[in-house]
Structure 1
Amino acid sequence: MGANTLPHRLERRQLLKYGAAALGTHLLAGCGGGDDALPDCQPLYDETGQWVSDTCSHGSGEPAPGYFSVEGRQILKDGVPFFAQGVCYAPQPVGASFASLPWGDFFIDFWDQLFMRDLPMMKKMGINTVRLYSTLPFSDINAVSGAAQSHKKFLDACLDNGICAWVGYPIDGGVYLNPQVKARVETGVKEIARQIGSHPAVMGFVMGNEANLSSGFSAAEGRQVPIKSAPGFWAWIDKLGEVTKQQAPEKLTMTCLIDDSMESVDYAMQFGGLPHIDVIGINSYRGNVTNGFDNLFSRFEESTRAHPHALLITEFGCPASTRNGTVAVELPNHAQEQADYISVHWQDIVKNKAVASGGYVFAWSDEWWKADDRTVHNVRPGADRIDQFPGHYWDEEWFGIYSIEPDPRRDPANPVNPGGSYYPDILTPRAAVAELTKLWTAPQ
């Protein structure tokens, strides 16, 4: 299936024929549920203009609620333009790590206290979509079979709060070079799509995060070369998209790339255009409070002209920290400068909505696991100086629009108490929460 091709059973259906007023009403449509009811029944037509059915008919051949597609560069949900107002959501408790159970998957039923707390808060902010980094079909990340994990509570809660989720099996950049791990990933990608691909809160599946950063040894050249220059790498990413589409034909596929000034996108388009990938996500930390994303949108449009794809800014933001000597501290006034930086970049996304279909602020909450001691909110030794950031340093543990601290009733090193209970971390909003709420709940 091409990036702009409807699933086979819907090939003879045109897009919903909304009038201009209806399009305006639903431009920033959520995932339904909560107070955001699904759109009223609307007619479906075939390519000759003849009425076939309507969106309330979910019998043979008709899309159920939660059907996503791409038309040109526009993402559609249930036939209506969808603009993503999102956050990257990885609620790792203090003391947890992606390198151990539950392998970053805090969206299984056991962790419902976390997401049942957060999703209603997101709804009040105007968030209509979240991006996850780890959703596993089995409890062991290395497993290729077994009893399925349940993500139903999380997805149902998303639906109740009008929030859609990008989910997916975690794929590290170096996986492409390891045949054994590649095979396990292909199984995991297929299985998670099979398990949850029909849920109306699922927006789509992510095929890799910043895998274009990896490099491998080339015998032909006798040196390390970037994987992004290898045609086989892009063919594999596209294969994962095809496998996913076979299991979840009414959902989107996306690969998320680090912003390298579109060099990776140029390679991908040169090597076939990723026909089974609907959306290209760019994790971008360029620009400042003056120029936003600079020329990102025009370069993407130029690079994908022969193979148009929808675009999402799948990570953007900056740390809420600055330095007091060698120690990281929060920026003044609840990190107001972080809020200003995020606001400027969000407004740049909106200004370029003809090319981009929205963005995801990185991140919902701080991540204490990223630098040395997971029980300390610290900085990585030798952290890069980033002059365009308000606090001038790339402090990976400080990107949250919420700060976190462990509940005093538990051991900071152990998210789960010996008896099997747990206490969610304490969240404190930074200035960006109020700023984004203002931007995302304003009348359109």
Structure 2
Amino acid sequence: MVKLTVSPILTLALSLAALGPLWALNPVSIKGTKFFDSVTQDQFFIKGVAYQPRTLAAGFSDPLSKPADCKRDFPLMKDLGLNTVRVYQVDPSLNHDECMKALENAGIYLILDLMVPKHSIVRNNPEYDTNIWNNVRSTIDAFEGYPNTLGFFVGNEVTNDNKTTVASGYVKAMLRDTKNYIASTSTRKIPVGYANNDDPDIRLQIQSYFNCGKDEERIDFFGINLYEWCGASTTYKTSGYAERTKDIASYSIPVFLSEFGCNLVTPRTFPEVKSIFGPDMTDNWSGGIVYEWSQEDNNYGLVQVKPDNTVSLMPDYTNLKTVLSPLRPTGVKMDAFKESLPISTCPAITSTWEPSEKLAPTPSSAACDCMMSSLSCVASDQAVATTESLGTLLNTVCGMTSCDDISSNGKTGVYGKYSFCSPAQKLSYMYNAYYTNIGKKAAATCNFNGMAKLQVATKSSDQGCSNVKDTPNSEAKAGGPNAGDQVKGDSFMVALAVLLGVSVLAL
């Protein structure tokens, strides 16, 4: 009898192989107008659902920080035949490892919106400041490490009519910064897109605007929230879907329905799904995301979340499964796909399309902190605590002295050197300007009914402060996968490489 001896190193290697990869889903990549599995090279069609349960939540709720809910919902999504969820808001300070792993176990990718209501570009009074940008960066940090993070939305219907087009310029500035930040911090290229509404007056301008100009200012994919197909009596041609397909026929990047599922006729039977994932649309579209998972006040739910936190399936779930399950579009292989279309031409500036070609500057907390250290008169704790009144306080002081340094104008392309600072920092800068120039540094002029106070400046002036830039966070990321586990995993792999005689650079 021959006795076989297996070395401890080989035993360890075999054990690791048996465990399989920690993250089995392959990242999705883009080539031309289509998504592809980066490993198998199969074309990827988004079969998604909007996921933001909120009826039972008191205020804002992060659905990807609740493992029990994720493990309850994601297997049902898998059974429905879905491969993508769209989540509109998260708390980047929380841990998302369990939910992202539950998504991965169900074969599901994530598309995540980066703006949240508290930190967003307001369409009627657009600003792009450090509060918004810092939240965006934190969210990217928390999710860029997960291979099943398919992409990010930099905005959702921010401009929704021809009176709010200036806001798109601020979104495009944030798009530029988001793409640059991902390029400097992520180990892979994570695509960034925009979700548009279906306003007939501006949909073509929006479509062109976010796909024109420098590469860093152009989206990687485009979503359309489309609710034109309502009920079984509507068809591909009568619904408007055929016209929207013509609109994107020569578009150079992937397009999909970022929301669909009109509920004017209920229960919904989803006749549009056969077109979205069939011959009518798969040449030009990359799938769609049905709105939405849970039943809320707006009556779009596929499931009902009960008071005991269990769910029951609604007729819409069963109807969607019936029509979706048989549809398996195959598309083309990535290597065989040769299509290369030109980028869009930027829309002309008119009375109904007004964003300046000059985009807002990248917000810098370091610049604002530098400026603050040069001030002798600043907003008091009472003023800062009264967040909802900051705008009123700013309007008051701006009526007393020039506010050009803190103002921005996305129509003219003129941005003050501290236009990106937080409202409280802007108020402090203006109080100091009044105190210094008009108040002649008399203590009584730094009061404003208790809203301002004196402090000892640590810098003699703010000279050079506006040029100070933030640097990417060099510390361990807060999520995706858990930073501590990642460090331990990296150390283990380095040690294993040494044992097996493998180059560390090959890991």
TM-score, with length taken from structure 2: 0.52
Aligned residue in 2 for 1:105: 62
Q: Which of 157, 161, 169 is the matching residue for 1:210? A: 157
Q: Distance in 1 between matches of 2:319 and 2:131?
A: 42
Structure 1 outlier segments of 4+, above 6 Å:
none
C-alpha displacement at 1:363, in angstroms? 0.7
**Structure 2 vs 1, CA of residues 135 and 269 (structure 1 numbering), >3 Å: closer, same or farther?**
same
**Structure 2 vs 1, CA of residues 272 and 122 (structure 1 numbering), >3 Å: closer, same or farther?**
same
Secondary structure of the corresponding residue to residue 355 of structure 1: coil
Task: Check the 8 A contact 1:136/1:188 in 2, yes or no.
Answer: no
Task: Check the 8 A contact 1:213/1:228 in 2, yes or no.
Answer: no
1:128 aligns with 2:75: no
* CA shift digits 1:309-366 (9 cap, x unpaired): 11110100122x77xxxxxxxx4xxx2xx11xx2324524532112111100001112
Q: Distance in 1 between matches of 2:51 and 2:43?
A: 23
Give the structure with the larger helix fraction.
2
Q: Distance in 1 between matches of 2:73 and 2:107?
A: 13
**Structure 2 vs 1, CA of residues 57 and 119 (structure 1 numbering), >3 Å: closer, same or farther?**
closer
Gaps of 5+ in 1: 1-55, 139-148, 216-224, 323-330, 369-396, 408-422
**Structure 2 vs 1, CA of residues 178 and 348 (structure 1 numbering), >3 Å: closer, same or farther?**
closer
Secondary structure of the corresponding residue to residue 137 of structure 1: coil
Larger Rg: 2
Aligned residue in 1 for 2:37: 77
Choose 129-138 or 65-74, whichever is displaced more: 65-74
Task: Check the 8 A contact 2:211/2:219 in 1, yes or no.
Answer: no
1:435 aligns with 2:377: no
Task: Check the 8 A contact 1:287/1:294 in 2, yes or no.
Answer: no
Aligned residue in 1 for 2:271: 343
Give the structure with the larger strand fraction.
1
Task: Check the 8 A contact 1:68/1:250 in 2, yes or no.
Answer: no
Q: Which of 298, 301, 310 is the matching residue for 1:400? A: 301
Within 5 Å, give how 1:375-394 maps onto structure 2.
none
Question: Which residue identity is paired with 1:234?
Answer: K
**Structure 2 vs 1, CA of residues 245 and 163 (structure 1 numbering), >3 Å: closer, same or farther?**
same
C-alpha displacement at 1:258, in angstroms? 0.9
Could you tell me the percent identity over the aligned residues? 20
Within 5 Å, give how 1:279-298 maps onto structure 2.
279-288=221-230, 289-291=234-236, 292=239, 293-298=241-246
Task: Check the 8 A contact 1:68/1:77 in 2, yes or no.
Answer: yes
Q: Distance in 2 between matches of 1:115 and 1:65?
A: 17
Aligned residue in 1 for 2:54: 92
**Structure 2 vs 1, CA of residues 246 and 202 (structure 1 numbering), >3 Å: closer, same or farther?**
same
**Structure 2 vs 1, CA of residues 195 and 153 (structure 1 numbering), >3 Å: closer, same or farther?**
same
Q: Which of 190, 209, 226 is the matching residue for 2:164? A: 226
Q: Distance in 2 between matches of 1:271 and 1:251?
A: 20
Gaps of 5+ in 2: 1-19, 329-507
* CA shift digits 1:137-186 (9 cap, x unpaired): 12xxxxxxxxxx1011110000111111112433456447454x632222
Secondary structure of the corresponding residue to residue 62 of structure 2: coil
**Structure 2 vs 1, CA of residues 403 and 297 (structure 1 numbering), >3 Å: closer, same or farther?**
same
Task: Check the 8 A contact 1:130/1:165 in 2, yes or no.
Answer: yes
**Structure 2 vs 1, CA of residues 300 and 163 (structure 1 numbering), >3 Å: closer, same or farther?**
same
Aligned residue in 1 for 2:180: 242
Secondary structure of the corresponding residue to residue 210 of structure 2: helix
**Structure 2 vs 1, CA of residues 273 and 435 (structure 1 numbering), >3 Å: closer, same or farther?**
farther
Secondary structure of the corresponding residue to residue 129 of structure 2: helix
Task: Check the 8 A contact 2:274/2:327 in 1, yes or no.
Answer: no
Task: Check the 8 A contact 1:297/1:355 in 2, yes or no.
Answer: yes
Q: Distance in 1 between matches of 2:208 and 2:218?
A: 17
Q: Distance in 1 between matches of 2:166 and 2:225?
A: 15
